Amino acid sequence: MKKQVSWNDYFLSIAAIVATRSDCVSRGVGAVLVRDSSIIATGYNGSPKGIKNCSLGGCDRCKDKLLGKIPSGEQLDKCICAHAEENTIAQAANNGISTKNSILYCTHLPCIQCSKLLIQAGIKKILYKEDYASTLTIKYLHQAHISLKKVNKHIANLSS
């Protein structure tokens, strides 16, 4: 008998698939926003609508990072890409869906800017797979009483 995948593994697997839509040359990130075990929004990092894709040379910051001129996690304000978490919240807002008391499943630990947005959006819990170069994220999420959990478990390949 096949064992049913847990909700956490299910939604983290979906976040990984969402990340494959990213056009960022630096890092592909995917996020899934969930309430009551239902997906309310998804998002991935990439250039805003109508702006040249990062993968087509649209982001000078990402180019400089790849060349080693900018360390990971720094000068994010110079990046043209909207982050997966931002796009997830924007998608919910565009569809008139409240994000209050929802859970975010993300391929990476959110950056500090996204963490502030997640706090303001009323997210109650964040589960993520990969660390990110952010020293303040965990501190502020804990101060805001948002549950934060790194999931180390390997997520099975769903395409097989």
The residue among 42 and 131 whose pLDDT is bigger is 42
User: Is it the case that residue 157 has pLDDT exceeding 80?
Assistant: no
The residue among 73 and 42 whose pLDDT is bigger is 42
pLDDT of residue 115: 95
How far apart (Å, rounded) are the C-alpha atoms in residues 13 and 121? 23
Q: What is the set of active-site residues? A: 85
Q: 130 — phi, psi (to 5°)?
A: -110, 145
How far are the Cα atoms of 130, 141, 151 from residue 33, in angstroms, in the given order?
Answer: 17, 17, 16
What percent of the chain shows pLDDT beyond 90?
A: 60
The mean predicted confidence, pLDDT, of the chain is 89
pLDDT of residue 53: 84
Rounded to an integer, the average pLDDT of 51-77 is: 82
For 102-112, the pLDDT digits (tens) are 999 999 999 99
The residue among 139 and 72 whose pLDDT is bigger is 139
pLDDT of residue 155: 54
User: Which residues face 44 on adjacent strands?
Assistant: 30
Burial profile 71-109: b = 16 or more Cβ within 10 angstroms, e = fewer: eeeeebeebbbbbbbbbbbebbeeeeeebeebbbbbbbb
User: Is it the case that residue 95 has pLDDT exceeding 90?
Assistant: yes
User: Is it the case that residue 158 has pLDDT exceeding 80?
Assistant: no
